[in-house]
Amino acid sequence: MTLLRCLPYVRKQMTRHRVRSLLTIAGVAIAMFLFTSVQAMNRGVAQATRTTAEDTTLVVYRADRFCPATSELPQDYLRRIEQVDGVAAAIPMMVVVTNCRTSLDVVTFRGVPKDGFISARLSEIEVVAGSTEDWQRRTDAALVGETLAERRGLRPGMTFDAAGITAYVAGVFRSDDPQDQNVAYTALPFVQMAGRDRLGIVTQFNVKVTDPAMLDPVANRIDELFVHASEPTATFSEKAFIGRLADDIIELVGFARWLGLGCLVAVLALVANSIVLGVQSRVVEHAVLQTLGYSGWLVAALIVVEGTLLALVGGVVGAGVALAVAHFGSFALSVEGTTIPIAADAKLLATGLLICGAIGVVAGLVPALQASRRQIAACFRSA
């Protein structure tokens, strides 16, 4: 008798005790929903803050400032920054956000010189709707990140209002950079004039260096230039800058990892409990199977398969719902103008299912071994 030919028996055992099976699957699904959500946030933090050998961007910010509303630097710093050895290009940027606190629904406007942005960034973004020509033509036009557009239902030709700014959507773009996915790029003077006149003032400078190895030396040179100025600067690599602002989120996600581990323990307990109850109620049935020629290892394998299927079904439901919520909700954690994406994809689903399968096997091993070692006569006597 082969294991594959016995799979209908496993299915019948799962459906025969519907309430117990459904409760187990529901419990596993809830736990895996929480686990997958935590892992998606954890991966988003890693994407936004992990330094790589290809990083070439520095952020020049006002020293001892955090929220964009409090960071004000003279725009004419640009000329002196561009003269620093190792600087390939620099873009002055005015950042306006609807909320500096941590939130899932923040709109971030980034005012940039349009010509400089096009020459420096056009190769790094993909316009999926609208056009850059329309963006360059209108002073109130915005290029909107795909995540922000999906969350707010924005399309080219529409106008939207946030943080006291009313902008026209000229295009929607896609980018691999997490910081581009939740922003609206507009003309620098347009944002500077919004709310109050701040012409000549910017929030930060984004600086490209010629070599990744030059990040720290160039950052030190820039800060030395303005150390005695009335508006001194603090320069960080882009990933370090995000980690500095999003420190609270990083700590929160770090704590949430323990919640994820707790969810895995809950899955193990739920599946193990269900299997133990099932094995105890089928002692005589297993003895009959062995009488009919089923070997002890085959009985054990059927019990393990049942536990694995229960865990996998619950895992598919829970992880699938978590991924669907993350995808269609277009969520991103934003704090002080920076974005931490919630990175949910098929790889995360596959990881969740592998973990569920492993937990199902572990949960079924002990009761399976016990059932396989019982003597047939002892099973009938216990009945």
- pLDDT greater than 60 at residue 382: no
- H/E stretch holding 173 reads strand 165-175
pLDDT of residue 66: 78
Lowest average pLDDT, out of 70-79, 182-191, 302-311, 363-372, goes to 363-372
% of the chain surpassing 90 pLDDT = 21
The predicted model scores a pTM of 0.73
Structure tokens at 165: 């700014």
293 CB-contact burial (10 Å; exposed 0-12 / middle 13-18 / buried 19+) = exposed
pLDDT of residue 284: 58
Could you write out the three-class secondary structure of 270-289?
Answer: HHHHHHHHHHHHCHHHHHHH
Q: Where are the beta strands (DSSP E) in 66-164?
A: 73-74, 87-97, 108-112, 125-130, 141-145, 159-162
- Average pLDDT on 134-158 reads 90
- H/E stretch holding 169 reads strand 165-175
Cα distances (Å, whole numbers) of residue 103 to 108, 155, 250, 336, 340: 12, 23, 14, 10, 10
- Average pLDDT on 88-113 reads 84
Give the residue with greater pLDDT, 365 vs 250. Answer: 365
- pLDDT greater than 60 at residue 379: no
pLDDT of residue 60: 93
pLDDT of residue 186: 93
pLDDT of residue 37: 84
- pLDDT greater than 60 at residue 383: no
- Average pLDDT on 94-103 reads 79
- Average pLDDT on 232-236 reads 91
Structure tokens at 344: 């949910």
pLDDT of residue 31: 86
> 182 near 334, Cβ under 8 Å?
yes
Per-residue pLDDT reduced to its tens digit, 258-297: 878 888 888 888 788 777 776 666 655 655 666 666 676 7
pLDDT of residue 77: 93
pLDDT of residue 238: 80
pLDDT of residue 169: 94
pLDDT category, 171, cuts 50, 70, 90? very high
Lowest average pLDDT, out of 161-170, 335-344, 345-354, goes to 335-344
Count of alpha carbons within 13 angstroms of residue 4, beta-carbon side: 0
pLDDT category, 105, cuts 50, 70, 90? confident
pLDDT of residue 353: 86
pLDDT category, 144, cuts 50, 70, 90? very high
Mean pLDDT score across all residues of the chain? 81
Give the residue with greater pLDDT, 243 vs 189. Answer: 189
Per-residue pLDDT reduced to its tens digit, 293-321: 667 677 777 778 888 888 888 889 988 89
pLDDT of residue 292: 61
- The span from the CA of 95 to the CA of 115, in Å, is 18
